[in-house]
Structure 1
Amino acid sequence: MTGNGGGPVEGPLSEAPGPRSPRPRDAASIMLLDRSQAHVRVLVGKRNKAHVFMPDLHVFPGGRRDTSDRRLPWDGDMHPAVLERLKNCHGQRAPESRLRAIALAALRELHEEAGIAVGRKNSGNTTLPFLPDLTNLRYMARAITPPGHPRRFDTHFFALFTDEAGVEPADVRDSRELEDLRWIDVNDVSAVRMPDITEIILGDLRASLESDASLPFGRPVPFYYTRHGRFVRDLL
């Protein structure tokens, strides 16, 4: 499911449209990367079997953007190249507050699902006990859930290196949202069951790391969606 340049690549992995498919909601996911060992590892956790969306599968921490995410105080802002890529997705007139809220949702969800705070402590009476630092987020991929699912999300995937964020890999902990949190080698995911799109985006991550292990901020972003019942990969 890879292609060259900016043209779409189509494949058979999508589902047929449902009769009343819900509108996709903004969501964000974090590929938290540990490069302290011989091979880069990524954090994944298993969604509870009671979840309607992707139960019993291992995924990256993440979730939908809440309305309140626009009002979250933050410390460091997104890299200009990341903001520009997000504008390429949603249009140059898209409010920066909405685009920033997507990135803030990613860090909020990482804290809620894995107990990891990226940013300095915040003693004020706010939603989060820390001020999210968006400085080191790389924008890696965008994927829209195909029609036919009971939940649909327009998910933006960000990457973050633990050493840049001041995160200790041993500090992650399970939550009600994500169980069996574990670090897996990005080159070997055989120990867990993942959604197809998660494996595809991991493949993109591997290719990006092989091209430049620093993951430059302004890299092209693969965009996955369905068109006329076909699975499409485009570049933003």
Structure 2
Amino acid sequence: MTAIRPVDAASILLLDRSGGSIRVLVGRRSSKHVFMPDLYVFPGGRRDAGDRLVPVAGSLNPLARERLAMRAGTRCSDSRLRALGVAALRELHEEAGITVGAPLAEPGEGALSFRPDLSSLRFLARAITPAGMVRRFDTRFFTLFADEARVDPSGATASHELEDLRWVDIFDHKGIQMPDITVLILEELQKSIQEDESLPFGRTAPLYYARRGRFHRDLL
């Protein structure tokens, strides 16, 4: 059996801190999905080839980019790292109807209707799907404060890819059925928030992966 190689993916934890608690946006994956159907996850998906070519309104913060580049392999390039940020914001737009960036007056056919603004993205964590799964992803998880991005939390709209959108207290997600890795990433966010609510751009980020049947957590 041919081994499935992980493909680049990006996911985003959009945070609303306008109330007395910090909430994160999650949605339920459609039952039609082969990978993790009917579970609540953060908006996200695989990096498309065209994401490298998308013009941006704001570049990745240098500290976030530096951390993102760690252990990225020989294929690491500025365009690939930028594409990961673009993928996160593109998926947020496609799955939750939220735009982060500058609108385009005349977008090209099949192109994004806006230029993504990557400047407020923090790199939170990275996780590689273990071998043996029906799909494998090398996912980078970003955080984004809604107020910094000038996003109205009430504007989130469900899609055929991500249903039943909810804003969930990051410290109280009981009753929400999530994949194990989603819960782990949420726990990483909890620890980071407790250490510094501003989520500094250059903070260390965990890397989750499996090797020889054992689960590992390294720091980048």
> Same-fold call, TM > 0.5?
yes
Q: CA deviation at 1:94?
A: 1.8
Q: CA deviation at 1:56?
A: 0.5
Task: Give the structure 1 partner of residue 76 of structure 2.
Answer: 94
Measure the CA separation in 1 of the matches of 2:185 and 2:148.
22
Letter in 1 for 2:98: I
2:197 aligns to what SS in structure 1?
Answer: coil
Measure the CA separation in 2 of the matches of 1:27 and 1:92.
17
* RMSD, aligned CA: 1.1
Bigger mean CA deviation after superposition, 93-102 or 49-58: 93-102
Task: Give the structure 2 partner of residue 144 of structure 1.
Answer: 128
Measure the CA separation in 1 of the matches of 2:73 and 2:58.
23
Task: Give the structure 2 partner of residue 191 of structure 1.
Answer: 175
2:98 pairs with one of 113, 116, 127: 116
Letter in 1 for 2:49: T
Q: Is the 8 A contact 1:21 1:149 kept in 2?
A: no
1:130 paired to 2:114: yes
Deviation digits for residues 114-155 of structure 1 (CA, Å, limit 9, x no counterpart): 000001211133311111000000000000001111100000
Deviation digits for residues 139-191 of structure 1 (CA, Å, limit 9, x no counterpart): 00000001111100000000000000000000000001000000000001113
Deviation digits for residues 21-61 of structure 1 (CA, Å, limit 9, x no counterpart): 31000000000000011110000000001101000000000
**Structure 2 runs not aligned, ≥5 long:** none
Letter in 2 for 1:158: F
Letter in 1 for 2:55: P
1:209 paired to 2:178: no
Task: Give the structure 1 partner of residue 207 of structure 2.
Answer: 223
Deviation digits for residues 192-217 of structure 1 (CA, Å, limit 9, x no counterpart): 10000000110010000000000000
Task: Give the structure 2 partner of residue 103 of structure 1.
Answer: 85
CA gap of 1:141–1:54, structure 2 versus 1, over 3 A, is same
Q: Is the 8 A contact 1:21 1:150 kept in 2?
A: no
TM-score by length of 1: 0.90
Q: CA deviation at 1:73?
A: 1.1
CA gap of 1:92–1:35, structure 2 versus 1, over 3 A, is farther
Deviation digits for residues 89-118 of structure 1 (CA, Å, limit 9, x no counterpart): 314772100110011000000000000000
Measure the CA separation in 2 of the matches of 1:148 and 1:91.
22
Bigger mean CA deviation after superposition, 115-124 or 105-114: 115-124
Structure 1 stretches of 4+ moved >3 Å:
none
Task: Give the structure 2 partner of residue 4 of structure 1.
Answer: none
Letter in 2 for 1:141: A
1:44 paired to 2:23: no
Measure the CA separation in 2 of the matches of 1:76 and 1:67.
20
Q: Is the 8 A contact 2:107 2:114 kept in 1?
A: no
Bigger mean CA deviation after superposition, 34-43 or 81-90: 81-90
Task: Give the structure 2 partner of residue 22 of structure 1.
Answer: 4
Task: Give the structure 2 partner of residue 82 of structure 1.
Answer: 64
Measure the CA separation in 1 of the matches of 2:107 and 2:146.
27
Q: Is the 8 A contact 2:8 2:46 kept in 1?
A: yes
TM-score by length of 2: 0.97
Task: Give the structure 2 partner of residue 155 of structure 1.
Answer: 139
Residue identity over aligned pairs, in percent, reads: 58
